[in-house]
Structure 1
Amino acid sequence: MKLVILDRDGVINQDSANFIKNPNEWIAIPGSLEAIALLNQSGFRVVVATNQSGVSRGLFDMATLNSIHDKMHRELALVGGRIDAVFYCPHSADDNCNCRKPKTGMIKEIGKRFSVDLNQVCGVGDALRDLQAFANAGCQPILVRTGKGETTLGAGELPENTIVFADLSEAAQYIIAENN
């Protein structure tokens, strides 16, 4: 099975320092939904792994998070794409859970649920914590320059084998070319 793991905010949709707190604030990055559809058409299953500490901070509840994800699924379906699963960590950094990126719990759970060797999986993110979680779980870390990507790249502490692309469209083309 071919699988790709994507961070959500800053990779698929525009990010916000104030959190994405409702469906109206969820706005797809141009080309990102089409990139997911292209991955699907090339035989990839696509899974989202996202930190959503806004839940534990009381900024939005689970019903609202589900509504945000419903919007993402609906908009993706309109371009012929799908996300096979959304994994999220609702905890804050203070909760010291194992699922919040940069820890690897969420990524390893995806590998287990999909019965896939994470060494065969690309993980696409825009923040250092995404890349660290992907790399430490055995995935190929890919940084996109959208969202926090430029800032992350400028900080220069990327995991050793990180590959950098302008956006999810470029990353998807690379992933497809490398796996066909």
Structure 2
Amino acid sequence: MKLLILDRDGVINHDSDAYIKSVEEWVPIPGSIEAIAALSKAGWTVAVATNQSGIARGYYDLATLDAMHAQLRSLVQAQGGEVGLIVYCPHGPDAGCECRKPLPGMLHDIARHYAADLKGVWFVGDSKGDLQAALAAEAQPVLVLTGKGHRTLEGGVPAGTRVFDDLASVARELIHNSAR
């Protein structure tokens, strides 16, 4: 199985320090929907692991989050692709849960769901926590320079981290290399 795991905010859609609280605020980054569809059509399973502490903070509810993810699935489907498992952490940063990145809980949930080994699986994110979660799960950390990516890069990234401009460039790389 060719598995790719993505963070959501800042990788697939624009991020906001004020949180993405509605479907109207959930705006895809140019090229991200097409990238996911292209990966899917090329035989990749694209899963999503996203911290969503706005739920614990009361900024939005699970129905709103589900609607955002339904919108993501619909847009990718319209391009001929599909989104795999979407897992989220609804907890705040002080909840002490096992799922919130930088802990690897959500990545392990995806691995269990697909009966996959995460060693070498690319986890694409835009934050230090994403990269730390990838390392903790023995996945390959991949940083995109969308969202908080530039700020993360300036702060230093773990050795071996792959860096790309955006999700579209990640997709081009994976599709090109898997076609060989």
Would the TM-score normalized by the shorter structure come out above 0.5? yes
Matched, 1:20 2:20: yes
Q: How much has 1:37 moved relative to structure 2? A: 0.9
What's the secondary structure of 1:25's corresponding residue? coil
* Cα distance per residue 1:63-104 (max 9 Å; x no partner): 111111111111111111211111000000110111000001
Letter in 2 for 1:86: I
Matched, 1:155 2:163: no
What's the secondary structure of 1:45's corresponding residue? strand
Stretches (4+) displaced over 6 A: none
Aligned match of 2:170: 171
Distance 2:50 2:70 in 1: 15
Q: How much has 1:30 moved relative to structure 2? A: 0.4
Aligned match of 1:143: 143
Distance 2:5 2:54 in 1: 21
Q: How much has 1:179 moved relative to structure 2? A: 3.2
Matched, 1:69 2:69: yes
More helix by share: 1
The alignment's TM-score, normalised by the length of structure 1, stands at 0.96
CA contact (8 A) 1:33 1:81 kept: no
The 10-residue stretch of structure 1 (119-128 or 3-12) with the greater mean CA deviation from structure 2:
119-128
Aligned match of 2:36: 36
Name the % identity: 49
Aligned residues: 179
* Cα distance per residue 1:110-153 (max 9 Å; x no partner): 11111111014111000110011012101111100000000000
Aligned match of 2:56: 56
What's the secondary structure of 1:161's corresponding residue? coil
What's the secondary structure of 1:27's corresponding residue? coil
Q: CA RMSD in A?
A: 0.9
In structure 1, stretches of 5+ residues that fail to align are: none
Distance 1:121 1:110 in 2: 11
What's the secondary structure of 1:95's corresponding residue? coil
Q: How much has 1:108 moved relative to structure 2? A: 1.0
What's the secondary structure of 2:24's corresponding residue? helix
The alignment's TM-score, normalised by the length of structure 2, stands at 0.96
Distance 1:154 1:32 in 2: 23
Q: How much has 1:18 moved relative to structure 2? A: 0.6
Aligned match of 1:133: 133
Letter in 2 for 1:34: E
Letter in 1 for 2:10: G
* Cα distance per residue 1:24-68 (max 9 Å; x no partner): 000010000111011111110000000000000000111111111
What's the secondary structure of 2:45's corresponding residue? strand
Aligned match of 2:82: 82
Distance 2:17 2:66 in 1: 20
In structure 2, stretches of 5+ residues that fail to align are: none
What's the secondary structure of 1:15's corresponding residue? coil
What's the secondary structure of 1:98's corresponding residue? coil
Distance 1:177 1:133 in 2: 26
